[in-house]
Amino acid sequence: SSKNRVVARKLSLPETEKTGNRVTVFVRVRPISKKEKEADSRCCVTIVNPRDVYLTEFVNPNGYLRLKRIRRRHFTFDACFPDSATQQEVYSTTTSELVEGVLQGRNGTVFCYGATGAGKTYTMLGTVESPGVMVLAINDLFGKIKTRSCDGNYAVHLSYLEVYNETVRDLISPGRPLVLREDKQVMILLQQGNHNRTTEPTRANETSSRSHAVLQVVVEYQVRDAAMNIIKNVGKLSLVDLAGSERALATDQITLRSLEGANINRSLLALSSCINALVDGKKHIPYRNSKLTQLLKDSLGGTCSTVMIANISPSSLSSGETQNTLHWADRAKEIRTKTWMQANDANEDLFPVIETGTDQATLVLELQKENR
Ligand code: ADP
Ligand code: MG
């Protein structure tokens, strides 16, 4: 009913929260799926107002007929999007500000984080009928450029990369970034690119995205200052559809897949480690430990604005994953990107690069620790 509809809006934070350049963190709940309905699962996610979400844990003691509610956890974010939120609402609230920044020569990054099936790709890419953040951002970018092109000459370069098994692969134009002339073909281009993503069946899910997809849009423009000198500005927008955050080890313990899983989680783990190090105010930020964090090193600090969208399912079948995702997102709120910049500048060469294929056992242990 529209009367009870919660509309997510980004609220301005009290002054005390504004020290440093805080990462903004959003949560999006997807609609319950047919499968989840048929499995008779309960809804365990409640958005009580535009910023607050409750996660309810249920148990089924001794096979009682009714699930018993045991605990409620409360989380606060910059905004929580209910299952009725439109793609446009999500784009406007989370990303449109970053697009404006890119046109002023700043960098911005948006991540979608969550378990497989939680709605990351829907949020980032979307469908032809309901295009997601990637497509809406590029459309918006071109719309803005058109109204401003008298200010200078703009050039837009686009690359769509996959990080899979600690290897970076180009999804649309192997070799060099594509120069984009207009926005018409973007959806088709990205869909083709997504088709090239490495997806394979796992035991837990029919298709599971084990790769990270990174869309980077670089906008270059030239303007003349009062003395008629040409000034060149560059802004970069990175939009990242992360691999499923579920435990690789819980799915497939013994096969080759677990090694692959460890590699994929190496990038997620590296991202988490960077976040933990930043939150703890550590001087050493291990961003060189994975391909993903290396790829994003100029897009995760300094004047860069960072946005996280945590995607979750409403179903009690996924409450474990949902809890992990909300905890991760909760921690991400504490990041100050200014700290990141200072740490990077001071410590760039202090970190050894971990070579792919080594120390699997150590990594697996680390993962088990991380997942606990
Ligand atoms: P992920 O990329 O996190 O693995 P998907 O984006 O593929 O998950 O979403 C899983 C399924 O749920 C897809 O069929 C997708 O279309 C659907 N879905 C996800 N989010 C929404 C939403 N907000 N509204 C409608 N359908 C959604
Ligand atoms: Mg996906």
Of ligand 1's listed atoms, the one at least distance from the Cα of 241 is 2
Model confidence pLDDT, tens digit, residues 178-213: 777 777 778 888 888 888 777 654 444 434 467 899
Per-residue confidence (pLDDT) for residue 351, from 0 to 100: 26
Q: How far away, in angstroms, is 8 Cα from ligand 1 center?
A: 19
Ligand 1 site residues (CB inside 6 A) read: 30-31, 114, 116-122, 209, 244, 311
Per-residue confidence (pLDDT) for residue 261, from 0 to 100: 52
Tell me the range of 18-32, 47-61, 173-187, 246-260 where mean pLDDT is highest: 47-61
HEC string of 310-327 equals EEECCEHHHHHHHHHHHH
How many angstroms separate the CA atoms of 157 and 98, rounded?
17
How many angstroms separate the CA atoms of 286 and 355, rounded?
14
248: nearest Cα among 296, 211, 291, 276: 211
Kindly report the pTM of this predicted structure: 0.81
Which residue owns the Cα nearest ligand 1 atom 20?
119
DSSP state at residue 43: B
Model confidence pLDDT, tens digit, residues 66-98: 666 678 899 999 999 999 999 999 999 999 999
- Of 208-212, 282-286, 358-362, the poorest mean pLDDT is in 358-362
Which residue owns the Cα nearest ligand 1 atom 11?
117
How many angstroms separate the CA atoms of 22 and 73, rounded?
23
Per-residue exposure over 128-148, b if at least 16 CB sit within 10 Å of its own CB, e if not: eeebbbbbbbbbbbbebbeee
- Of 37-46, 58-67, 152-161, 363-372, the poorest mean pLDDT is in 363-372
Find the ligand nearest to 199 CA: 2
Residues 310/90, Cβ–Cβ less than 8 Å: no
Structure tokens at 224: 């003349």
What residues pack around ion ligand 2 (CB closer than 5 A)?
120-121, 209
Which residue owns the Cα nearest ligand 1 atom 19?
119
Whether ipTM > 0.95 holds is yes
